[in-house]
Amino acid sequence: MVTDTYRHKGLRKKLVDLLKEKGIKSEEVLKAIGNVPRHVFFEAAFVEKAYQDIAFPIGAGQTISRPHTVAFQTELLNLKRDEKVLEIGTGCGYQTMVLIEMGVKVFTIERQKELYDRTHKYLPSLGYNAKFIYGDGYKGLPIFAPFDKIIITAGAPTIPNDLLAQLKVGGLMVIPIGDKVQIMTLLEKKSPKHFEKTEFGEFKFVPLLERKEWGE
Ligand code: SAH
């Protein structure tokens, strides 16, 4: 059982205020952040940390993204209810929960078995349902394509072509591009071969790994 106390709610309200100060404007995104318990991914001793704007280790050498980064990417997606969204890099599932709160249908891919195993059981137990896939995000999910929106939650050295192909015309992809630091990039698919690109400054992510780097 997950407890969500007045203290947790209070800390979350402060986080929402902080994200507003940092420039997040979408009421829907702020409401989603305000609804999702982030402390469930933290040990009780670290509950304060759960609602600070910091990334944090979540095991298997991975991190839970900063709330501001999650809010920023979610805002860029300009989500409408019932849209089909593909997420690459499920991790612990915090971003997934925020997407679900936005009322969209989420398909999420994770390449680390340990994280996939944990998250695809844990989120539904909290009432957050999505289609969880253990696999390679570079390949996307052709059988469920096309998607209205695609979000990549790891730093990509280049834009994966398979993902571009799986985006609807008129759809949006938000992807942090780069090696050591990443430029948050929004791509709008104008036609099957034409994408309009907008850049939004530097962020820091763990790398999106290619299969040859997994060592499996
Ligand atoms: N969305 C998470 C952040 C996860 S960090 C959150 O809300 O906190 C990025 C995740 O991408 C890691 O879990 C990592 O294992 C995963 N990842 C890296 N390369 C991948 C790939 N090729 N396919 C799918 N997932 C990948």
> Tell me: the pLDDT tens digits for 55-99?
988 777 778 999 999 999 999 999 999 999 999 999 999 999 999
Look up the domain containing 125 and give its range: 66-213
* 145 within some domain: yes
Q: What is the CATH number of the domain that holds 100?
A: 3.40.50.150
For residue 6, the CA-to-ligand 1 centroid distance in Å is 31
Nearest-atom index, ligand 1, CA of 137: 23
Helix (H, G, I), strand (E, B) or coil at 24: coil
* 59 within some domain: no
Say if residue 162 is exposed, middle or buried (CB neighbours under 10 Å; 0-12, 13-18, 19+): middle
Number of domains in the chain: 1
26 included as an active-site residue: no
pTM of the entire predicted model: 0.96
For residue 177, the CA-to-ligand 1 centroid distance in Å is 14
Pair of tokens at residue 82: 């019932």
Could you read off the pLDDT of 118-176 as tens digits, one per residue? Answer: 999 999 999 999 999 999 999 999 999 999 999 999 999 999 999 999 999 999 999 99
* 19 within some domain: no
